[in-house]
Amino acid sequence: MYTVKQLSTLAGVTPRTLHHYDRIDLLKPEEVGENGYRYYGQQSLLRLQQILFYRELGFSLESIRDILNRPDFRIVDALEEHRSSLQGRVRRLERLIRTVNETIQHLKGETKMNDRRLFAGFGEEQQEEYARQAEQLYDPETVRASNRKWKSYPVAKKQAILEEGRQVYLDMAAVMSQGPASPEVQAIVERWRVHMDYFWTPGLDQLLELAAMYSQSPDFKANFDQIHPQLADFMGEAVRVYVENQR
């Protein structure tokens, strides 16, 4: 068994953090001594590891608590999902590292770098690729209007929008086990639909087409796979349920 101080040293977190986790029922000690000392055993260590993994992936403490407290939560399943998400992050970091190396070589005069390559691996480039793919499905003028709307936002606003969208997909991945028709999943689909208003306001049929693109387009699929390998297909199912309920 570990005391708060011992566990904080082992896990690299502060005692204050462990006390806070206890207060919000995220990580309770397995025993409390007569002297009031908290003691943590193996199960606590495994739960704390899960908390730190989910924090690394951007989940809120409230979301983590809900995930870990689900009756169907299994640590092995969660670890496999963490591995998939972290592998996706590694791939993205590798792309950014390549961009850094190419830029260094460019500035040293060793190679000539295309201006567009300066921003390889960033969300803005992905947004442009999405726009090109959207033109194949939707009215080009609608897509161009969406592009103008996007480009009108300041950089900080764009970053906030991209982060908001990423959080929608992270939250969706966290509740996939509840099924596409569950209230929790459908509430996140509604958040996703509202998020689309930053770009354009699609109709019901267009929502279905967009969700289908997530799993059919290699670029879209690759980005969703970074979060969860089944997320793209699950989004399609969840959106189909949403559209049927709206008709």
Residue 11 has pLDDT above 60, yes or no: yes
Rounded-to-integer distance, Cα 100 and Cα 120, Å? 10
pLDDT of res. 58: 67
Inter-CA distances, 55 with 60, 64, 75, 227, Å: 7, 8, 16, 14
Rounded-to-integer distance, Cα 72 and Cα 78, Å? 11
The token pair that represents 83 in the structure block? 């591995």
Task: Match 């349920």 to its residue by tokens.
Answer: 241
DSSP 33: -
Rounded-to-integer distance, Cα 24 and Cα 26, Å? 6
Average pLDDT, the chain: 81
Q: Which long-range contacts (CB under 8 A, 24 or more apart) does 42-48 make?
A: 44/2, 44/7, 45/2, 45/7, 45/10, 45/11, 46/75, 48/7, 48/11, 48/13, 48/21
What single letter denotes the amino acid at residue 135?
E
pLDDT of res. 171: 92
Task: Give residue-wise pLDDT tens across range 35-51.
Answer: 888 999 999 999 999 99
Q: pTM for the complete prediction?
A: 0.49
Map out the domains of the chain with their CATH numbers.
4-58 (1.10.1660.10), 122-246 (1.10.490.50)
The vertex-74 CA angle with 71 and 165, nearest 5°, equals 90
Rounded-to-integer distance, Cα 195 and Cα 187, Å? 12
Rounded-to-integer distance, Cα 124 and Cα 63, Å? 28
pLDDT of res. 128: 52
pLDDT of res. 127: 53
Helical (H) or strand (E) element with 180: none
Inter-CA distances, 8 with 2, 4, 12, 48, 89, Å: 9, 6, 6, 10, 27
- For the segment 187-213, the average pLDDT, to the nearest whole number, is 87
- For the segment 4-9, the average pLDDT, to the nearest whole number, is 92
Task: Give residue-wise pLDDT tens across range 96-155.
Answer: 677 777 778 877 877 776 555 544 554 555 555 555 555 445 566 666 777 788 788 888
CB 64 within 8 A of CB 51: yes
Rounded-to-integer distance, Cα 4 and Cα 1, Å? 10
Which of the two residues, 116 and 179, has the higher pLDDT score?
179
Residue closest to 103 by CA, chosen among 128, 124, 120, 123: 120
Per-residue b or e along 131-147, where b marks 16 or more CB atoms closer than 10 Å to that residue's CB:
eeebbeebeeeebeebb
Residue 239 has pLDDT above 90, yes or no: yes
Rounded-to-integer distance, Cα 78 and Cα 54, Å? 9
Which of 26-35, 80-89, 104-113, 209-218 ranks highest by mean pLDDT? 26-35
